Amino acid sequence: MEEFRGAVWKSLQRADRRVVSEPVSRLEYTDQMKIIDRLREDGIHISFEVFPPKTDEGYEKVIATTDEIAKLNPAFISVTYGAGGGTSKNTARIASHIQKDLNVLSLAHLTCASSTKDEVRQVIENLKELGIENILALRGDILPGVRFPDESRFRYAFELVEEIHRHGDFCIGAACYPEGHVENEHRADDIRYLKQKVDSGVDFLTTQMFFDNDIHYNFLYRIREAGITVPVLPGIMPITSASQMKRSQELSGTVFPRRFLSILDRFGSSPAAMRQAGIVYATDQIIDLLANGVRNIHIYSMNKPDVAAAIMSSLSEIIKA
């Protein structure tokens, strides 16, 4: 295992590391910086994800949540995309608030399965007008009642990546799946499709949540062998309740290791204990990743700034080391 992790570390060094001579202030990089440049700076970079409200009435609550997370000095904050266009406009509004009002880099998610090509193009132009130059390109979930595939919609994420490039000089991120995409039967196909996506113009990747770091290290080894050299941000989700675990498994099909299941069995019926155990488990994952040379980590905050703050507090000295 040590030899294997050493190989992964060398791959990460080649792909992700670029030392800069002078630090870049938050004001400078939010005004003129792309996330890929931020990730290549020296040091450790931890980012967070927030999601927009399901209704316009919840907008101010999400803004308050985002404001609290911004106080943790993240490398950037990503904002997920409201499906079907209903509240998707809030993605751009929140991303703009993060960048202009909070002075933090923002990453706007954009999905194509739930929107027509014309709607996607309108969103891209809106993001450009707002000065947002970082987009996470996703196919997204296929909504009930939506005909898919359809000529009026982009079928694959790589097509969306190509379309974004046609509209300007954006930094583009994309998703990857260490345990394989639920729609692909063979992992070899998964990596082949991932390389096609990256080759279409992706600058960095963010993984789906996982709970066993060895799965991530193995995934890194396989994609580097396949010629995928862009930075990869492991996605870490703190599971703080039994219901959240069930929902996560339904959405992603992720495998929970025995160690995590033991935690759930012992503390799942106690909300306070499960919250604490979930925070500790996620923190332990991050510490292991950092110890093995991973420098860029993305945390799915689930709009819980207190959980995010607890993790960052436990990492305060580790990040400096």
Give the pLDDT of residue 186.
59
Decide if 185 is catalytic: no
Average pLDDT over residues 192-205: 96
Residue 83 reports pLDDT greater than 70: no
User: 253 versus 165: which is more confidently predicted?
Assistant: 165
Catalytic member of 41, 49, 159, 163: 49
Give the confidence band of 19 by pLDDT, cuts at 50, 70, 90: very low
Residue 2 reports pLDDT greater than 80: no
Using only C-alpha atoms, what is the Rg of the chain?
Answer: 19
* pLDDT per position as a tens digit, 103-143: 999 999 999 888 889 999 999 999 999 999 999 999 887 66
Residue 29 reports pLDDT greater than 70: no
Q: What's the pTM? A: 0.88
Burial bucket for residue 320 (CB in 10 Å: 0-12, 13-18, 19+): exposed
Percent of the chain residues past pLDDT 90, beyond the cut: 69
DSSP string, 137-200: EE--PPPTT--SS-TTS--SHHHHHHHHHHTS--EEEEEE-TT--TT-S-HHHHHHHHHHHHHT
| CATH number assigned to the domain covering 2-320 | 3.20.20.220
CA-CA distance, 217 to 179, in Å (whole number)?
11
CA-CA distance, 268 to 39, in Å (whole number)?
36
* E-state strands within 10-133: 45-50, 77-79, 106-111
